[in-house]
A and B are shown apart, each in its own frame.
Chain A
Amino acid sequence: MDYFIQQMINGLTLGSIYGLIAIGYTMVYGIIGMINFAHGDVFMLSSFIALILLVLISSALGALGIGIALVLVLVIGMALTSLWSFVIERVAYRPLRGSFRLAPLISAIGMSIFLSNFVQVVQGPNNRSVPPLLQGYLTVQLGDGSFTIAYKQMLIFLVTAVLLAGFWFVVQKTSLGRSMRACEQDRKMASLLGIDVDRTISLTFVIGAALAAVAGVMYLVQYNVVNFADGFVPGVKAFTAAVLGGIGSLPGAVLGGILIGLIETIWSAYFSIDYKDVAAFSILAITLIFMPSGLLGRPDVEKV
């Protein structure tokens, strides 16, 4: 039983990271109906930026300032990653808006290839690892067993929860969030009512990238290692999460992320670690075939 609870906690950690990335996919799909294939690589890039910043800042601050260092890494990392995403949207996607449907998809795949190889060229093909950031854990007694929660896992839950709350506030309560939701429902109508659609789409990319950057920092905190090829698989899994939760639905993305994280850890713990990616990809296929609108999504009505 405590082994199961332990796996649940590990799964939730992973799921938080997937959920943060999944929001970027689901928002962009909701607003312009395109799969932002490069989003996984934006996440990888942000993780690399976080690693560089972390080494830089912690060497400047010394061992005492790990907390301040993490906050700084988070803030600067979010800003820099957002800038990348903003430029990517301007250069690779905006000129293709209103073009035929395959064009942005191909452009996004090209961008994804470009980003991963760009990082490989500028930072080298090998893993970069830093010493573990937050060591130590909390042991919880439960009946005659016990399980542990590492401090870094607590940090990941906390940061994810705070940022999701902030994100929810932006989408639900601010005028930017209102324009985003309006554009998602009907882009033409929104622009007729005076909403700057291009700007809203840009900001959607920026917010998605900022959340991916949070995921990137958390990924670094959890695993201490980054590689240029680390974008693709987490990207596809996060996309699976977005689809499972119902693409276009923000709570769905978080729910889907947590479910994918849980399924992956439980599958690795009880069945086969070799086939954990097969499990994730199978869920993707099964969801799309049998339940295309996901858990919380709206059904797609086809009009003739």
Chain B
Amino acid sequence: MQSSAASASASRKLDIGPAPADSPGVGAAAMDAAKSALLVIGLATPIVLIETKQSGAGVALEWRFGLVAVLAAIAALARFIHLTVVGPRVRAMPASNMAGRFSPGTVTWIKRFALVFVLLYPFIALALAGKGGAIKWIDNFGIQLLIYVMLGWGLNIVVGLAGLLDLGYVAFYAVGAYSSALLAKTVGLSFWLCLPLAGIFAALWGILLGFPVLRLRGDYLAIVTLAFGEIIRLVLINWVDFTGGYAGISGIPRPTFFGLPFTAGDDGFAAFFGVSFTPLHRLIFLFYLILALALLTNYVTIKLRRLPIGRAWEALREDEIACRSLGIDTVMTKLTAFAMGAMFGGFAGAFFAARQGFISPESFIFMESAVILAIVVLGGMGSQLGVAIAAVVMIGGTELLRELDWLKDIFGPGFDPTKYRMLLFGLAMVVMMVWKPRGLISTREPSIALHERKAISGALVKEGHG
């Protein structure tokens, strides 16, 4: 396996290797572009070419030659530009330029700048967008992005540090959300009690689901965790008495500012502090709450990496058999990784339930697990900064599509950019993997170093088999 991988990568290098001076001529590139256009026409027949419309019991067909022609033209043009302009330039770029673009010093400054920016973000949004516009920027971009950053960091413990491939992470998010919602609604506990309890419940579920899968490795582990995630979602759908089924749970109490609700009444936050009431207060409070939770996740992860348990996680990722022969308790190590990751997922779930005020199984589909795992892998597994950047790029990027209303002026009022959100998300996952299989931040800083700390290439880090 090892050697076949090596030979495959060697043959890859031949393809894209050092710049051959004779990059394909314009004629050859045009031929290639024509072939791409033909291929696109083949693929588009009939799935794009013929649009189906339900009419009564049957289906009516509508031909769309124009659309296929446009797609083929775009493909040909893209291929031509790639072959004549982009390709040669990429090949001419020295390899070292591609690898270590950031030095550790720069990374520290990026982190500091990002932290200050995020801390000031609500006020920057207020200053730039005004009171009306800021709601969207704080809620859709700020809070939602931070939830994904937190989930990414939580999953990073399991996947990036311990090397356990988990495709059902959303289950713990769901457990956290449902336990906090049910505790708040039926027992009447406040959000501040629900939050830690949700984390504990999710951690227990992490251990519970972790036990049976201890022996599994790699892809099999991924599939079993996927199955567990789906089972939990299906139970949430079908156990109607307890969870409300598809309808979900609504009217979940909102978090309060140390007992002060964010309402316009006399006992509300605004009245207590003598400021005029605005819904922005609650949003800004939620923003700092999720920011604090996310930073807590990050802080705990960084600290744990230096403790024996964190070092055991990373050792487990590198070589499980060596771990075992050195006397590391792999069962405990794996279970703590599952429990830790699940706990932060549970916190995020409790926050999600309190922020939305309504939860339903729709929010906890497999796609969410896939998105979170994609964020971790695209960011560069194990790199905290990379995960945060990937969350911002992938979620923020697709969220930005909602802002592209001006495209309606070009393509007509029927054009809806949000339709293409997940389409582009999937495409971006493929493109990013092909372009940078090791993720955006492809260097790692070892947790422990003998003399000086220096970043190593991500290719030297194992991805774990457990």
Contact = CB atoms under 8 A, between A and B. Distances in A.
A112 B426 contact: yes
A191 B8 CA distance: 11
Given A112-B426, A114-B426, A281 B165 contact: no
Interface stretch (B93-101, B286-294, B306-314, B415-423): B415-423
Given A102-B165, A117-B423, A130-B58, A52 B42 contact: no
Given A105-B222, A120-B423, A188-B3, 4 more contacts: A55-B61, A100-B463, A105-B219, A111-B426
A107 interface: yes
B236 to A, nearest CB: 11
Contacts of A296: none
A205 interface: no
A131 B42 contact: no
A145 interface: no
Interface residues of A, number: 71
A25 B427 CA distance: 22
Contacts of B427: 110, 114
Contact of B58 (A55, A127, A289): A55
Interface stretch (A12-20, A80-88, A147-155, A174-182): A80-88
B280 to A, nearest CB: 34
B378 interface: yes
Interface of B: 1, 3-9, 12, 39, 42-43, 45-48, 50-54, 57-59, 61, 165, 212-213, 215-216, 218-220, 222-224, 226-228, 230-231, 234-235, 237-238, 321, 366-367, 370, 373-374, 377-378, 381, 419-420, 422-423, 425-430, 433-434, 437-438, 459, 463
B457 to A, nearest CB: 12
Given A83-B42, A289-B216, A304-B321, A49 B231 contact: no
Contacts of A48: 47
A101 interface: yes
A271 B230 CA distance: 19
A80 B425 CA distance: 25
B221 to A, nearest CB: 9
Given A277-B234, A289-B215, A304-B321, A52 B429 contact: no
Contact of A107 (B234, B237, B429, B438): B429
A249 B422 CA distance: 34
B359 to A, nearest CB: 20
A39 interface: no
Contact of B220 (A92, A98, A128, A288): A288
A106 B438 CA distance: 11
A96 interface: yes
B47 A49 contact: yes
Nearest to A232: B366
Contacts of A118: 423
B47 A281 contact: no
Given A52-B61, A92-B434, A123-B52, A110 B47 contact: no
A282 B222 CA distance: 14
A209 B1 CA distance: 26
Contacts of B5: 97-98
A103 B422 CA distance: 19
A103 B437 contact: yes
B234 A278 contact: yes
A104 B43 CA distance: 22
Contacts of A135: none
A107 B433 contact: yes
Interface in A198-247: 232, 236, 239, 243
A256 to B, nearest CB: 14
A92 B223 contact: no
Contact of A99 (B321, B378, B437): B437
12 contacts: A49-B46, A52-B52, A53-B46, A80-B46, A97-B5, A109-B429, A114-B430, A122-B48, A126-B54, A130-B59, A278-B235, A304-B321
A289 to B, nearest CB: 5
Nearest to B219: A35
B7 A191 contact: yes
Contact of B425 (A113, A126, A232, A285): A113
A93 to B, nearest CB: 9
A140 interface: no
Given A48-B47, A53-B46, A98-B5, A285 B228 contact: yes
A146 B61 CA distance: 41
